[in-house]
Structure 1
Amino acid sequence: MFIDAHQHYWDPARGDYGWLTPQLAALYRSFGPADLAPLCAAWNVSRTVVVQAAPTVEETRWLLELARGEASIAGVVGWVPLDDPHAATLIAELAREPKLRGVRPMLQDLPDDAWIATANTAHAVDALIAHDLAFDALVFTRHVDALAAWLARHPALRVVIDHGAKPPIAASAHDVVDPAWAQAIAQLARFPQVHCKLSGLATEAAPGWTEATLAPWVAHLLASFGPQRLMWGSDWPVLNLNGDYARWHACANRLLATLTARERNDVFGGNAMRFYRLNMG
Structure 2
Amino acid sequence: MMIPPGLIPFTFDLFVPTYPPLRSGRWAVHHGGNLLCQGYWSPPRLVPHVAALVRGDDTWMSTTPIELESQEIGVRLASGHVVVFGLGMGWSAVASALKPEVTAVTVVEIDPEVLALHRELDLAAQLPPAAREKIRIVEGDAYTWRPDRPVDLLMPDIWLPLISDGRVEEVRRMQDNVQAKSLYFWGQELEIARHAAAAGLSLDDAGIRATIAALALPLIGPALPGYAGKLRQATARHLRGRWLPGTTPPDLTDVLASASAA
Q: Is the TM-score greater than 0.5?
A: no
Please report the TM-score for the alignment, with normalisation by the length of structure 2: 0.36
Higher RCO (CA < 8 A, seq sep 6+)? 1
**Greater Rg by CA:** 2
More strand by share: 2
